[in-house]
Structure formats: structure tokens, C-alpha cells
Structure 1
Amino acid sequence: MLQIKHQFQSFEEYLSYDDGTDKLYELFNGELIEMPPESGINVEIATFLLIQFASFLGYKRVRGHGLELEVRGEPRNRYPDLTIIREEHIQQLAQRNTIRLTMLPPLLVIEVVSPGELQRHRDFIAKRIQYQDCGIPEYWIIDPEAKTVLVLELTGNTYTESGNFAGDDLVVSPQFSQLNLQVSQIFDAVEKDGI
């Protein structure tokens, strides 16, 4: 990751920054950290799920990796692999694809775990804490290595494990009961594409 030297005093100052590129940055201790491109597997899984959710929610409610979430702690923002937004977010995100802490949280965020211990810790622990703190009702952690989908549901102020699904298990979403998806379909779609 490339670090861009510029000290931001607030998240609002960061939001007004434009370097003229489409690069994504995390704001960490006031400095920008450029996000590396996603792996092919992560993109394939997120795209497959985007299509599944868009089939019954419509494409405007399903956002890919470019959606930014303001969070508490460090870094100050995250870019989930897939986010299901609320109807009111569509208009709120028309100018900038950022959900602020002052807005209602999205309904669901999905992260696809990248290889490596640092990435596993980030998705299973650090992001879990930040998304829980934001009040996001549902968080999925998709693990291509273990071929599992962990579904976490916000109960009170804490995520509880709604299910850890594998193989031909149906992924049970507390919020999206109309989803009819087996874990094997997610990983078969990736393997069929040769990734």
C-alpha cells in the first residue's frame, strides 16, 4: 500500500480532498493509505453476489467495492466488498458514494477475506468491531480459503453468529429471507470461471 503524505485534521477535510484519480484511500491517523486492487477471487465473488441481490432488490440498492463507510476508530473509513443500502441512501449517495455516521447504517455489508493473517484479522476482528459499532444489522464474512459464509446479526449492540454455512447449506440471511443461495453456488461460480 502506498501512503500519500497529507495530514487531514478532520473527516470533513478528507471528504473535500480530490486528487483527480479514481483511487480509493483509507484515512488512518489523518493520512491517506491507498487501497490496493482487490484480488480476482474477491471481485468474482462480490460480483456474483451483487447479481443475486440485484435480482430481487434492484441494482440501485446493491453497491460494490466503491461504496465508502465512515466508521469510528482507525482507519476512519472502510470499503466493503458489497453493501446493501436502504432506499433513502440512493438519493443521499447521489453526489458522493459515502455513508456517513450521521446517516442510517446500510442493511448489510459483505467482506470477502483476502489471503494472509493480517487480512483475516482485519475482516474477522477489526471490521467486525467497526461495523458493529456503526449499528449495521447484518455482516457476512466470506472465506474463500475455508469455503464458508459466516453470517453475523446485530443483537442489541453486539454481533451474534446467525450461522456459519458451508457446502450445500443455504445461506440464511436474517434480513433477506427471499435469498435462495447455497454456499456451494458462490464458490462454484468462481471455480467455473477458472479463478
Structure 2
Amino acid sequence: MVQAKPRFSSFEDYLSYDDGTDKRYELLNGELIELPPESGENISILGFLYLQLAPLMGHLRVRWGLELEVRGEPKNRYPDLTVIRDEHIQQLQPRNTIRLSMQPPLLVIEAVSPGLSNRERDYIDKRKQYQDRGIPEYWLIDPARATVTVLELADGIYRELGIFRGGDSIESSIISGLNLTAQQLLQAGQA
């Protein structure tokens, strides 16, 4: 017997759905779109970055797999890493989802996967949704370009705080005490 794909008329309906798996989905026009797994290179980079951020921000504030409700389509995103506010720690106990009714996280980080559609999603689509959501800082770690782009929200618009390459020290208005170069971060993904 073939099961029909579930359709959801609201984000609340989607939040109550459980297919009994650990799969992650984006909700696009009422339908579930399964997210592919991250590349090994990106996982290595993100794991290294998590280890750098956790002592500076507190391990409870740096999150993997956090779901973020956004406006537009899809209705949700899963940033690769997210730095949350103190108030989110309690709010996220029942479900690791930051709703539109909650304050935005402080920082979202995406490791750009290979391919034009992935690049457009991270550099254009997610940028618009994260900007609209009012997230103060957005990082794009791009192994193919060997860059780390840090965007800062100013007057409701993302502006480049910097595009960091090689031995450039990555700057952040959210994270103080960060002592990390683009090269150190990007090399963490190389075998």
C-alpha cells in the first residue's frame, strides 16, 4: 500500500507531525521536503567551529539542528549552527524550534554545499529570510571559494562586515574573543 504524502495547511499542523524518524524537513507550500545530509567536509568545519564557539558563548547557546520558523517559502530553515539567546534555552526545551513569536537567534551559520542551487539557497534565499527574521549576524562558510562571509544586520539590511580569506582573522559583532582565521576554519574540513 502506498501512503499519501502529508499536506499541511499551517505551520502548527506541521509542528504536530511526527513520522517516527530523525529526518529533517522544510515545509514548502504545505509539503514536506526532506533535507539531504551535510557533506563530510562541511561537518568537519562545523564541528571545529562548534568547539571554538562553545567556550566563548556557552555550550547551551551554540546549537546544531535548530529549526527556525521564517516568513515566506519554505516556512522553516535549519541553520548549520545557531547561537541562541539565554531566553531560548528554556523556550527550546519542548521542541528545538524558534517560532516567529520568539526573539530571533543572535547568529546563524551556513556551510555552503557544492552546486549552484545550494549556493543560491544560502547566498540569496536564506539571506533574505534571515534578514527578514531580524537575525543580527549571518555567516556563510564557503569551502569552494575559500571564504568566510560575515553579514551584519544594520537598519534591517544585511551588510558585509567582511569577506575573510587565508590568514584574515574572522570578525564578529556577536562573538567577542574569537581568535580564528578563515584558513584555520576552512582547513578543518580537509582530510
Q: TM-score range by the shorter chain?
A: over 0.9
Partner in structure 2 of residue 46 of structure 1: 46
Partner in structure 1 of residue 21 of structure 2: 21
Q: How far apart, CA to CA, are the structure 1 residues paired with 2:105 and 2:152?
A: 13
Partner in structure 1 of residue 157 of structure 2: 158
Partner in structure 1 of residue 88 of structure 2: 89
> How many percent identity over aligned positions?
64
Q: How far apart, CA to CA, are the structure 2 residues paired with 1:7 and 1:181?
A: 44
* 1:137 lines up with 2:158 in the alignment: no
The 8 Å contact of residues 7 and 30 in structure 1, kept in 2 or not, is answered as yes
1:177 deviates by: 2.5
Q: How far apart, CA to CA, are the structure 1 residues paired with 2:189 and 2:98?
A: 29
The 8 Å contact of residues 42 and 81 in structure 1, kept in 2 or not, is answered as no
Name the aligned partner's letter for residue 87 of structure 1. D
The 8 Å contact of residues 132 and 159 in structure 1, kept in 2 or not, is answered as yes
**Aligned residues, how many?**
188
Which 4+ runs in 1 deviate beyond 4 A? none
The 8 Å contact of residues 57 and 175 in structure 2, kept in 1 or not, is answered as no
TM-score by length of 1: 0.94
User: What SS is found at the alignment partner of 2:149?
Assistant: strand
Partner in structure 1 of residue 120 of structure 2: 121
Partner in structure 1 of residue 167 of structure 2: 168
1:190 deviates by: 2.0
Q: How far apart, CA to CA, are the structure 2 residues paired with 1:163 and 1:151?
A: 6
User: What SS is found at the alignment partner of 2:153?
Assistant: strand
1:178 deviates by: 1.2
Name the aligned partner's letter for residue 67 of structure 1. L
Q: CA RMSD in A?
A: 0.9
Q: Tell me, which stretches of 5 or more residues in structure 2 are unaligned?
A: none
TM alignment of 1:53-68, pairs within 5 A: 53-64=53-64, 66-68=65-67
CA offsets 1:121-141 (integer angstroms, 9 cap, x no match): 000000000000000000001
TM-score by length of 2: 0.96
